[in-house]
Amino acid sequence: MSRFCRIFTKKPRLMNTPPCRLVILAAIASFCANWSFAFQITYVNTSVDTFYNLARKAYKEVRLCPTCQLPESDWLASWSVIVSMFYPGTILGFLLVPFLTKWLGVKRALSIMCVASTIGVGVHFLAVSLLSLGEVTFSTLLSIGRFLIGLQAGSSLCLLPLYIIEISPSQYRSFLNNFQQVSQSFGTLLGLILGSENIIPLGNARFMLMQVSAGVPILFLLFLLVITPPTPTYLSVFHPECIHEALNSKLFYHGMDRGDAYRPLVSNYEMMEDKASSNYATYGKSWRDSFKGFLIGAIVAASYAFTADDLIDTFSSNMLLGENKNSKKVHQETDTFSIFVSNGLGLVLFFASILGIFLADHYGRRRLVLVGLFGTCVANIGAVVFTTNKTIVSLCFAATKLFIGIGCGGPAWFLTSELVDPDYAWIYQPFSTGILLATTMFETFFYLSIDAWIGGYSLLVLAAGPALIAAILIYLYLPETKGRSCEEIQQMLNSTTFSGIHSKKLINDDIYGTFNEKNF
């Protein structure tokens, strides 16, 4: 065992840790696959002035009038469309996932969507090159580019848990899937920093920096997918005759030593056993048997949007107006305080998400999801009550990010795959993630209108209220999935209506994590 892996455990000789190669691959894939979503929803918050200035320049150029000013009301309408067009792309992206995985496999589907995102970044470069055509063309091209990038973002968020399933042994998947939340938080932080003129003053070059930043991680993910071998699951399902290639693939992804290549565990029989349990097979089982698990997982996924995480990332500069809120303009210059707070919130979420990996592994998903939702609910209510005090609002948002990171953030992205039969995870998990994205899209699209109508109370309508309802439903219906087999989870779901509060009566709730000696 390498020195790197020993940091995860107090007794390195006894504990079961993921192979280092698998950890590195999962970490890189998680960051790059999550990059588009995290970056696109945050850099538009701190870089709003950059886009506004470009739109004003296009407005002046098409009219040949250096003194003309773009009406702020027109810019608000255009900006709302530009920001929101990312989400229809994410929805279409997740809808394509079942078809792409069935025809091409997870790895190739990820690769194709990277190409779509690269084209979207190219459209953004085209938008700034055609400013002379006017602000309408500029806004239209930005919307098209964000839609194409959204295709990759939405599909990759759904494909990533399936990719982790394909490259890792079952005992490590839950831990590795939690990298998704850490990657989201890190991408969020980088998006806020790269979009801020106050932190990195670049002037007219800022737009180019942001587009290059949007494209590089996606191209690196494409490069990684091209140079790595097909996954063991893909070979066993699509090419069952390639036993030797499948064995070599398992050696590569699972990090085995070469001397272990021909252990009895790694055999033709095991390859056929993997095929029988793969996420593509059905073998007579009904998808209806997992439908309750899907509904519960979908509630957990949607509850992520109710934490107001993306609303804060996208509109915190609009929220942190403090005593000046009543005099708010349609467009207002981003102040230093808002930039400082936005980046501070990104740091809180990043470190809380790292802690959340180990907390979820030790304490389980159910209790942390509940703690996270109730915590964000209280924090967002505090932001509403003290809406005129931007310091207190900032602290409330920091508490929201903390509860997201340690509690309800990570499980929202993968919990459905644990609640349904593995044979149907490739259908249900993408739809669950799609519900998360759709809920986030509607909240983001309607936030400015609702905020203009009822002010700070918009957080009660869009976040705190729905989060409380979701927490109650999760308390009643969500059983603990940590350390339990698919059969045990299905028994808990199907043997009683309120599977959340009665699950302990069926099976003792052992508090042990992936790295605990009880697993051996």
- Tens digits of per-residue pLDDT, 25-82? 999 999 999 899 888 877 876 777 888 888 888 888 888 888 788 887 778 788 888 8
Q: How confident is the model at residue 317 (pLDDT cuts 50, 70, 90)?
A: low
Mean pLDDT over 153-158 rounds to 88
Instruction: Determine the pLDDT at residue 281.
Output: 41
Q: Which residue has the tokens 């070059």?
A: 205
Q: Is the pLDDT of residue 3 over 70?
A: no
Rounded Cα gap, residues 42 and 498, in angstroms: 38
106 vs 231, 279, 301, 517, CA distance in Å? Answer: 9, 11, 21, 33
Q: Which residue has the tokens 């027109």?
A: 74
Instruction: Determine the pLDDT at residue 465.
Output: 92
Domains of the chain: 19-228 (1.20.1250.20), 233-276 (no CATH), 288-520 (1.20.1250.20)
Shortest CA distance to 468 belongs to which of 380, 366, 395?
380
Instruction: Determine the pLDDT at residue 217.
Output: 94
Q: How confident is the model at residue 16 (pLDDT cuts 50, 70, 90)?
A: low
Q: What is the pTM (predicted TM-score) of this model?
A: 0.71
Instruction: Determine the pLDDT at residue 402.
Output: 92
Q: Is the pLDDT of residue 145 over 90?
A: yes
Residue 375 CB neighbours (<10 A): 21
Mean pLDDT over 387-408 rounds to 88
The b-or-e profile of 8-17 (16+ CB within 10 A means b, else e) is bbeeeeebeb
Mean pLDDT over 163-174 rounds to 82
Residue 260 CB neighbours (<10 A): 12
